[in-house]
A and B are shown apart, each in its own frame.
Chain A
């Protein structure tokens, strides 16, 4: 299936953020959170819902997200994405985000499971305006329990104005690479979280299987490698606590 989805969030004169444009197509649905809790939150929360079994080989999904100046958006997944085999073509997911001046976006999809014989490619391309804040979490699971991973290559590229902050391609599905002590050391789950959120840490922090490192120009990257998605997410959370800008935000609400 080929699908194009887009989402625009802007800041209203009263300081609250609201959805201005929302278009989605099967197999990807965008569902704004409603209810009283949503009414109290000045940020907008939109759920990403895979409305069919996705991503399936041959699927080509593009999502454009624009967060206008001063607006705040939380874009979350509701269930793990399971990359499944189908035709002989790879499945593709392209997400382009544009975070305006003083705006914020938290892009928090659920883990992606790369099942055997899947062939999944992703691209996340983000551009940030002055003073913008961005948090992107990515958790990849190399196959279901006891299963070898299919093929996966996902590239993240984040730019701040004309300056590039992070370019990174994650690759799964190559047993030699995954087994290498330089790559996943035989572990099954890889989590990364990119953060540009106020103050970056002055120095890197590291636990046994996670690290939080300040990037060369601006922003930080948390990395965790674990045996399962739960412990890997826990390690990412530990890494985020070492981030002064994020920790202040998390405590202050």
Chain B
């Protein structure tokens, strides 16, 4: 059962600024690649199995890393405030740097790296108020705008949920945002769009299983499936967003 953290982070009312991103859907609509429900399903499925799998895997790996403590195995996962966060938290900052670098290396599009970090930055303010922890400080020490999957995964791990919950939350967010954007961009029936989203359940289960398995292995071996057209579109969208009126940032 998912705990409160993954429910809160996946809630569209969570004040993290995720609603300004369409995950490439706006550009796909502008190019005529997605015109209605018939194309929306394949778009979302492709997104989930590529960008979604990467995000879910890194969230799961962050959830594994976040509660680690020196000495005894973490029996309780309550975040503890230490007088000196860096030494007492016992967090290996290099592991967070490694996750950050490996996720950067799997995100060849600067527009997508920026979208991920913008959402991380937006989420950071909200989660620091709710789940203060030196772990978040360690993550921010690596980069002031942490990648969203790493931050969300760390919070879910700190709150006591495991990598599977982190993967499910972030995998779901990889498609729920674009699905909701589809309602606004194409004027689709919200009930039908919701049904399309729900039909991705089996794919999401696969993503969660793959992500959870990978999260316990070496960071270098985390999945890296590419989404070529999504990458192309992200750059065109960024240019269009700068020059013309667009509804979404990405």
- B8 located at the interface, meaning its Cβ lies under 8 Å from any Cβ of chain A in the complex: no
Interface centre among B42, B47, B230, by most A CB within 10 Å?
B42
A166 within 8 A of B: yes
A176's contact among B46, B101, B220, B235, by CB below 8 Å, is which? Answer: B46
Question: Given known contacts A168-B224, A225-B232, what 4 new A-B pairs fall within 8 Å (CB)?
Answer: A167-B224, A170-B228, A184-B228, A210-B232
Select the stretch in A20-28, A60-68, A215-223 that faces chain B: A215-223
| CB atoms of B109 and A213 under 8 A apart | yes
Contact A182 B235 (CB under 8 A): no
With a cutoff of 8 Å between Cβ atoms, the chain A residues found around residue B44 in the complex are 182
Measured in the bound complex, the distance between the Cα atoms of B104 and A154 in whole Å is 19
| Interfacial residues of chain B within 100-122, with CB under 8 A of chain A in the complex | 101-102, 104-111, 113
What are 11 A-to-B residue pairs whose CB atoms are below 8 Å? A168-B108, A171-B226, A177-B49, A181-B46, A206-B232, A206-B235, A206-B239, A211-B236, A213-B231, A215-B105, A216-B107
A164 CB within 8 Å of chain B: yes
Q: Are A216 and B113 in contact (CB-based, < 8 A)?
A: yes
CB of A165 closer than 8 Å to a CB of B: yes
Q: Map CB proximity to B onto A206-244 as digits: 1 under 8 Å, 0 otherwise.
A: 100111011111000101010000000000000000000
Task: Tell me if A4 is interfacial: C-beta within 8 Å of chain B.
Answer: no
B28 contacts chain A at the CB level, 8 A cutoff: yes
**A87 at interface, CB cutoff 8 A:** no
Residues of A within 8 A of B227 (CB): 182-183
- Whole-angstrom distance between the alpha carbons of A165 and B101 in the complex? 8
CA distance A155 to B226 in the complex (A): 10
Dominant secondary structure of chain B at its interface with chain A: helix
What is the minimal beta-carbon distance from B97 to any residue of chain A, in angstroms?
10
Counting chain B residues whose Cβ lies within 8 A of the other chain, the interface size class is: 35 or more
CA A221 – CA B105 in complex, angstroms?
Answer: 11
What CA separation (Å) do A166 and B226 show in the bound complex? 11
Which of chain A's residues 170-190 have a Cβ closer than 8 Å to chain B?
170-171, 176-177, 179-185, 190
Q: Which of B42, B226, B235, B236 contacts A181 (CB 8 A)?
A: B42
B39, CB-defined interface residue at 8 Å: yes
> Given A180-B46, A190-B228, A169–B104 Cβ distance below 8 Å?
no
Closest to B33 in A: A181
Cross-chain contact B46 with A223 (CB below 8 angstroms): no
B19 near A: Cβ within 8 Å? no
A80 within 8 A of B: no
Contact in complex: B226, A170 (CB < 8 Å):
yes
| CB-CB nearest 4 A-B residue pairs | A180-B46, A182-B46, A216-B104, A181-B33
B235: chain A residues at CB < 8 Å are 204-206, 211, 213
Q: Which A residues are in CB contact (< 8 Å) with B47?
A: 180, 182
A186 to chain B, nearest CB (A): 9
Evaluate whether A167 and B42 lie within 8 angstroms (CB atoms) in the complex, with A182-B50, A183-B227 already known.
no
- B241 at the A interface (CB under 8 A): no
Question: Assuming A167-B102, A180-B42, A204-B109, is B220 touching A185 (CB within 8 A)?
Answer: no
Q: Is the CB of B109 within 8 A of A182?
A: no
- CB contacts under 8 Å to A, within B32-49, are 33-34, 39, 42-47, 49
Bound-complex Cα distance A15 to B59 (A): 49
Q: Let me know if B46 and A211 touch, CB within 8 A.
A: no
A223 to B227 Cα, complex, angstroms: 10
CA separation between A213 and B104, bound complex, in Å?
13
Say yes or no for A163: interface residue by CB 8 A criterion: yes
* Bound Cα distance A223, B230 (Å): 11
Looking at the assembled complex, report how far the CB atom of B185 sits from the nearest CB atom of chain A, in whole angstroms: 13
